[in-house]
Amino acid sequence: MSNPVFFAPAGALDGLAPGDTFVLDGAEARHAVTVKRLEAGEAVDIADGAGLRLVGTVREAGQGTLTVEAVELREEPRPAVRLVLVQALAKGDRDELAIETATELGVDAVIPWQSERSIVRWKGERAAKAHAKWQSVVAAAAKQARRAWIPEVRPVVDGAGLAKAVAAADLAVILHEDAKRPLRAALADWLGALPDGGTDGPREVLLLVGPEGGITPREVTRLADEGAVTALLGNHVLRSSTAGPAAIVLASDILGRW
Protein backbone atom coordinates (compact mmCIF):
# COMPACT_ATOMS: atom_id res chain seq x y z
CA MET A 1 0.00 0.00 0.00
CA SER A 2 1.29 3.48 -0.86
CA ASN A 3 2.27 5.87 1.90
CA PRO A 4 -0.15 8.61 2.98
CA VAL A 5 0.79 12.00 1.55
CA PHE A 6 0.78 15.38 3.27
CA PHE A 7 1.69 18.68 1.70
CA ALA A 8 4.32 21.14 2.85
CA PRO A 9 4.60 24.69 1.49
CA ALA A 10 6.39 25.09 -1.84
CA GLY A 11 10.15 25.22 -1.28
CA ALA A 12 9.98 23.77 2.24
CA LEU A 13 11.71 20.55 1.19
CA ASP A 14 14.49 22.23 -0.80
CA GLY A 15 17.98 21.26 0.31
CA LEU A 16 16.97 18.21 2.34
CA ALA A 17 18.92 14.97 2.01
CA PRO A 18 18.42 11.39 3.26
CA GLY A 19 18.92 11.31 7.00
CA ASP A 20 17.70 14.87 7.56
CA THR A 21 14.57 15.55 9.58
CA PHE A 22 11.65 17.69 8.54
CA VAL A 23 9.00 19.10 10.85
CA LEU A 24 5.53 19.42 9.33
CA ASP A 25 3.17 21.78 11.14
CA GLY A 26 -0.13 23.53 10.60
CA ALA A 27 -3.32 21.96 9.30
CA GLU A 28 -1.52 19.16 7.47
CA ALA A 29 0.30 18.07 10.63
CA ARG A 30 -2.92 18.16 12.64
CA HIS A 31 -4.58 16.00 10.01
CA ALA A 32 -1.70 13.51 10.14
CA VAL A 33 -1.67 13.33 13.93
CA THR A 34 -5.32 13.68 14.96
CA VAL A 35 -7.15 12.19 11.96
CA LYS A 36 -4.73 9.69 10.46
CA ARG A 37 -3.21 9.03 13.90
CA LEU A 38 0.26 8.46 12.53
CA GLU A 39 2.77 7.20 15.05
CA ALA A 40 6.54 6.89 15.31
CA GLY A 41 7.93 4.29 12.94
CA GLU A 42 5.22 4.62 10.28
CA ALA A 43 6.08 5.45 6.68
CA VAL A 44 4.84 8.72 5.24
CA ASP A 45 5.39 10.96 2.20
CA ILE A 46 5.67 14.73 2.37
CA ALA A 47 5.27 16.57 -0.95
CA ASP A 48 5.66 20.22 -1.81
CA GLY A 49 2.92 20.24 -4.45
CA ALA A 50 5.48 21.07 -7.15
CA GLY A 51 6.94 17.63 -7.83
CA LEU A 52 9.32 17.09 -4.89
CA ARG A 53 8.47 14.15 -2.64
CA LEU A 54 10.11 13.23 0.66
CA VAL A 55 9.73 9.55 1.46
CA GLY A 56 10.32 9.16 5.16
CA THR A 57 9.59 7.67 8.54
CA VAL A 58 7.73 9.35 11.37
CA ARG A 59 10.08 10.05 14.27
CA GLU A 60 7.66 11.95 16.50
CA ALA A 61 3.98 12.85 16.39
CA GLY A 62 3.49 15.83 18.66
CA GLN A 63 0.81 18.38 19.37
CA GLY A 64 0.27 19.89 15.95
CA THR A 65 3.63 18.78 14.54
CA LEU A 66 4.94 15.73 12.74
CA THR A 67 8.68 15.09 12.70
CA VAL A 68 9.78 12.96 9.75
CA GLU A 69 13.20 11.52 8.93
CA ALA A 70 13.93 11.57 5.20
CA VAL A 71 14.74 8.21 3.66
CA GLU A 72 14.62 9.39 0.04
CA LEU A 73 13.96 12.59 -1.92
CA ARG A 74 12.33 12.18 -5.33
CA GLU A 75 11.91 14.82 -8.00
CA GLU A 76 8.90 13.79 -10.09
CA PRO A 77 8.95 15.48 -13.53
CA ARG A 78 5.83 16.81 -15.17
CA PRO A 79 4.62 15.02 -18.31
CA ALA A 80 5.96 16.25 -21.65
CA VAL A 81 2.35 16.73 -22.80
CA ARG A 82 0.29 18.44 -20.13
CA LEU A 83 -3.47 18.18 -19.89
CA VAL A 84 -5.53 21.21 -18.97
CA LEU A 85 -9.25 20.85 -18.27
CA VAL A 86 -11.28 23.92 -19.20
CA GLN A 87 -14.38 23.38 -17.10
CA ALA A 88 -17.44 25.52 -17.57
CA LEU A 89 -19.01 26.68 -14.33
CA ALA A 90 -21.96 24.44 -13.52
CA LYS A 91 -24.68 24.32 -10.89
CA GLY A 92 -24.96 21.83 -8.07
CA ASP A 93 -21.19 21.58 -7.55
CA ARG A 94 -20.86 19.52 -10.71
CA ASP A 95 -17.89 21.64 -11.77
CA GLU A 96 -16.15 20.86 -8.46
CA LEU A 97 -16.86 17.16 -8.91
CA ALA A 98 -15.32 17.35 -12.38
CA ILE A 99 -12.06 18.96 -11.23
CA GLU A 100 -11.84 16.66 -8.21
CA THR A 101 -12.04 13.52 -10.35
CA ALA A 102 -9.79 14.99 -13.04
CA THR A 103 -7.15 15.69 -10.38
CA GLU A 104 -7.26 12.09 -9.18
CA LEU A 105 -6.80 11.03 -12.81
CA GLY A 106 -3.74 13.24 -13.33
CA VAL A 107 -4.84 16.56 -14.86
CA ASP A 108 -2.08 19.20 -14.74
CA ALA A 109 -4.19 22.36 -14.55
CA VAL A 110 -7.81 23.48 -14.59
CA ILE A 111 -9.36 26.65 -15.97
CA PRO A 112 -12.76 27.85 -14.70
CA TRP A 113 -14.81 29.04 -17.66
CA GLN A 114 -17.68 31.50 -17.42
CA SER A 115 -19.47 30.30 -20.54
CA GLU A 116 -22.53 31.90 -22.10
CA ARG A 117 -24.87 29.24 -20.72
CA SER A 118 -23.27 28.89 -17.30
CA ILE A 119 -25.97 29.39 -14.68
CA VAL A 120 -23.41 29.85 -11.91
CA ARG A 121 -21.64 33.22 -12.00
CA TRP A 122 -18.36 34.22 -10.37
CA LYS A 123 -18.50 37.92 -9.62
CA GLY A 124 -16.80 40.18 -7.08
CA GLU A 125 -16.18 38.61 -3.69
CA ARG A 126 -17.86 35.38 -4.78
CA ALA A 127 -15.24 34.93 -7.49
CA ALA A 128 -12.36 34.98 -5.02
CA LYS A 129 -14.11 32.56 -2.67
CA ALA A 130 -15.07 30.21 -5.49
CA HIS A 131 -11.53 30.19 -6.87
CA ALA A 132 -10.16 29.39 -3.39
CA LYS A 133 -12.71 26.56 -3.10
CA TRP A 134 -11.49 25.08 -6.38
CA GLN A 135 -7.91 25.26 -5.12
CA SER A 136 -8.96 23.46 -1.95
CA VAL A 137 -10.77 20.78 -3.96
CA VAL A 138 -7.80 19.97 -6.18
CA ALA A 139 -5.38 19.98 -3.24
CA ALA A 140 -7.52 17.48 -1.34
CA ALA A 141 -7.90 15.30 -4.43
CA ALA A 142 -4.14 15.40 -5.07
CA LYS A 143 -3.56 14.21 -1.50
CA GLN A 144 -6.09 11.41 -1.92
CA ALA A 145 -4.38 10.30 -5.15
CA ARG A 146 -0.92 10.44 -3.48
CA ARG A 147 0.28 12.98 -6.03
CA ALA A 148 3.44 15.07 -5.65
CA TRP A 149 1.93 17.76 -7.91
CA ILE A 150 -1.10 19.87 -7.06
CA PRO A 151 -2.79 21.00 -10.29
CA GLU A 152 -2.77 24.71 -10.96
CA VAL A 153 -6.13 26.46 -10.79
CA ARG A 154 -5.84 29.28 -13.29
CA PRO A 155 -7.91 32.48 -13.20
CA VAL A 156 -11.50 32.29 -14.39
CA VAL A 157 -11.96 33.21 -18.04
CA ASP A 158 -14.85 34.49 -20.11
CA GLY A 159 -15.24 33.98 -23.84
CA ALA A 160 -12.48 36.42 -24.77
CA GLY A 161 -10.09 35.00 -22.19
CA LEU A 162 -10.72 31.46 -23.33
CA ALA A 163 -10.14 32.44 -26.96
CA LYS A 164 -6.68 33.73 -25.96
CA ALA A 165 -5.93 30.51 -24.06
CA VAL A 166 -6.97 28.42 -27.06
CA ALA A 167 -4.77 30.46 -29.39
CA ALA A 168 -1.78 29.92 -27.10
CA ALA A 169 -2.32 26.15 -26.65
CA ASP A 170 -0.60 23.46 -28.69
CA LEU A 171 -3.97 21.75 -29.12
CA ALA A 172 -7.45 22.71 -27.93
CA VAL A 173 -10.31 20.23 -28.20
CA ILE A 174 -13.97 21.13 -27.71
CA LEU A 175 -15.85 18.07 -26.48
CA HIS A 176 -19.08 18.32 -28.44
CA GLU A 177 -21.94 15.90 -29.00
CA ASP A 178 -22.39 17.02 -32.63
CA ALA A 179 -18.76 16.45 -33.58
CA LYS A 180 -18.04 13.80 -36.19
CA ARG A 181 -14.43 13.02 -35.38
CA PRO A 182 -13.68 10.87 -32.31
CA LEU A 183 -11.46 12.34 -29.60
CA ARG A 184 -9.17 9.34 -29.93
CA ALA A 185 -8.51 10.15 -33.60
CA ALA A 186 -7.99 13.87 -32.94
CA LEU A 187 -5.39 13.18 -30.26
CA ALA A 188 -3.63 10.39 -32.15
CA ASP A 189 -3.35 12.45 -35.34
CA TRP A 190 -2.00 15.47 -33.46
CA LEU A 191 0.53 13.34 -31.62
CA GLY A 192 1.60 11.59 -34.80
CA ALA A 193 2.18 14.91 -36.56
CA LEU A 194 4.69 16.09 -33.95
CA PRO A 195 8.29 15.74 -35.16
CA ASP A 196 9.41 14.21 -31.86
CA GLY A 197 6.32 12.12 -31.20
CA GLY A 198 5.42 14.32 -28.25
CA THR A 199 8.45 13.41 -26.14
CA ASP A 200 10.14 16.80 -26.36
CA GLY A 201 7.88 19.06 -24.31
CA PRO A 202 6.40 20.85 -22.68
CA ARG A 203 3.20 21.06 -24.68
CA GLU A 204 -0.34 21.72 -23.51
CA VAL A 205 -3.58 20.14 -24.61
CA LEU A 206 -6.77 21.92 -23.57
CA LEU A 207 -9.92 19.84 -23.16
CA LEU A 208 -13.01 22.07 -23.16
CA VAL A 209 -16.22 21.03 -21.40
CA GLY A 210 -19.38 23.10 -21.55
CA PRO A 211 -22.09 23.66 -18.90
CA GLU A 212 -25.40 21.84 -18.49
CA GLY A 213 -26.94 23.61 -21.47
CA GLY A 214 -23.96 22.94 -23.72
CA ILE A 215 -21.62 25.21 -25.65
CA THR A 216 -23.34 27.73 -27.90
CA PRO A 217 -22.71 27.69 -31.67
CA ARG A 218 -21.29 31.20 -31.36
CA GLU A 219 -18.74 29.97 -28.81
CA VAL A 220 -17.76 27.03 -30.99
CA THR A 221 -17.23 29.31 -33.98
CA ARG A 222 -15.16 31.80 -32.01
CA LEU A 223 -12.94 29.11 -30.51
CA ALA A 224 -12.57 27.33 -33.85
CA ASP A 225 -11.36 30.61 -35.35
CA GLU A 226 -8.55 30.50 -32.77
CA GLY A 227 -7.58 26.95 -33.72
CA ALA A 228 -9.78 24.73 -31.55
CA VAL A 229 -11.16 21.50 -32.98
CA THR A 230 -14.34 19.67 -32.02
CA ALA A 231 -14.28 16.00 -31.07
CA LEU A 232 -16.76 13.36 -30.00
CA LEU A 233 -16.00 11.65 -26.73
CA GLY A 234 -18.46 8.77 -27.02
CA ASN A 235 -21.87 7.62 -28.12
CA HIS A 236 -23.72 9.07 -25.15
CA VAL A 237 -24.23 12.58 -23.83
CA LEU A 238 -22.29 12.92 -20.58
CA ARG A 239 -22.91 15.28 -17.68
CA SER A 240 -20.67 18.30 -17.28
CA SER A 241 -19.10 16.56 -14.28
CA THR A 242 -18.32 13.39 -16.24
CA ALA A 243 -17.07 14.49 -19.65
CA GLY A 244 -13.81 16.07 -18.50
CA PRO A 245 -12.58 13.14 -16.40
CA ALA A 246 -13.54 10.69 -19.17
CA ALA A 247 -11.52 12.73 -21.65
CA ILE A 248 -8.55 12.84 -19.25
CA VAL A 249 -8.53 9.03 -19.11
CA LEU A 250 -8.58 8.63 -22.89
CA ALA A 251 -6.00 11.37 -23.45
CA SER A 252 -3.66 9.93 -20.83
CA ASP A 253 -3.69 6.62 -22.69
CA ILE A 254 -3.34 8.01 -26.23
CA LEU A 255 -0.62 10.50 -25.29
CA GLY A 256 1.45 7.90 -23.45
CA ARG A 257 1.03 9.44 -20.01
CA TRP A 258 -0.21 6.15 -18.57
Backbone angles phi, psi at 171, to 5 degrees: -155, 135
Comma-separated ranges of CATH 2.40.240.20 domains in the chain: 5-75
In angstroms, the CA 34 to CA 117 distance is 44
How far is CA 229 from each of CA 25, 219, 223, rounded to the nearest angstrom?
46, 12, 8
5-75 has which fold? Ribosomal Protein L25; Chain P (2.40.240)
pLDDT value at position 125? 83
Which pLDDT tens digit goes with each residue over 28-78?
Answer: 999 999 988 999 999 999 999 999 999 999 999 988 899 999 999 999 999
In angstroms, the CA 37 to CA 31 distance is 8
Comma-separated ranges of CATH 3.40.1280.10 domains in the chain: 81-255
Q: Which of 210, 113, 231 is nearest to 165 (CA)?
A: 113
In angstroms, the CA 108 to CA 90 distance is 21
Which pLDDT tens digit goes with each residue over 139-188?
Answer: 999 999 999 999 999 999 999 999 999 999 999 999 998 889 999 999 99
Class level of CATH domain 81-255: alpha beta
